[in-house]
């Protein structure tokens, strides 16, 4: 896993993404989409549907949809199946089998992503934003 630290903070008026010492604004679009500009090139977008408990990610490398369940939330990405653990004491993890691939911990206004496996590097920002929206209350489009 890598040593990239990304933190997403949701606010009442604006959202921001912190990557190391650099801050990026995350504009809110129509129908609940948040737009993500990647300095490495490309633009993605994220939307969490609170009514259906579903996360949508669209990025230059592909699209991902996660349907959350009370237990055993799984999804496919890059030809592999992953599982999201329940949030316990403000921590949750994405696992491939029993191996942690992405680790998160909650902050006061979002999530902090401490470790990211290579399969998720292209969508690490979108994942941090979408999981923050899911776990911390942006349930319906703004």
pLDDT in tens, the chain (142 residues): 446 688 888 888 888 888 888 888 999 989 889 999 877 778 999 999 989 999 999 999 999 999 999 888 999 999 999 999 988 888 889 999 999 999 998 887 778 888 788 889 889 899 989 988 888 765 445 4
Phi-psi region of 61 (alpha: psi -120 to 50; beta: other; left: phi over 0): alpha
Residues 18 and 63: their CA atoms lie apart, in Å, by 23
Task: Please give the distance of CA 23 from its chain centroid, rounded to a whole number.
Answer: 17
The phi and psi torsions of 12 (rounded to 5 degrees) equal -65, -30
Please state the pTM of the whole predicted model: 0.86
User: Which residue's entry shows tokens 């008026």?
Assistant: 13
């Amino acid at each position: 896993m890598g040593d990239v630290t990304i933190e997403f903070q949701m606010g009442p008026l604006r959202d921001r993404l912190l990557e190391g010492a650099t801050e990026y604004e995350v504009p809110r679009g129509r129908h609940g989409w948040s737009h993500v500009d990647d300095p490495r090139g490309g633009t993605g977008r994220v939307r969490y549907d609170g009514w259906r408990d579903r996360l949508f990610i669209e990025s230059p490398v592909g699209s991902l949809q996660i349907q959350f369940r009370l237990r055993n939330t799984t999804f496919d990405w890059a030809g592999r199946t992953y599982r999201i653990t329940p949030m316990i004491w403000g921590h949750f993890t994405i696992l491939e089998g029993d191996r942690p691939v992405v680790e998160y911990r909650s902050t006061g206004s979002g999530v902090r992503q401490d470790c990211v496996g290579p399969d998720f590097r292209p969508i690490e920002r979108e994942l941090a934003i979408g999981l923050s929206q899911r776990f911390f209350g942006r349930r319906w489009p703004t």
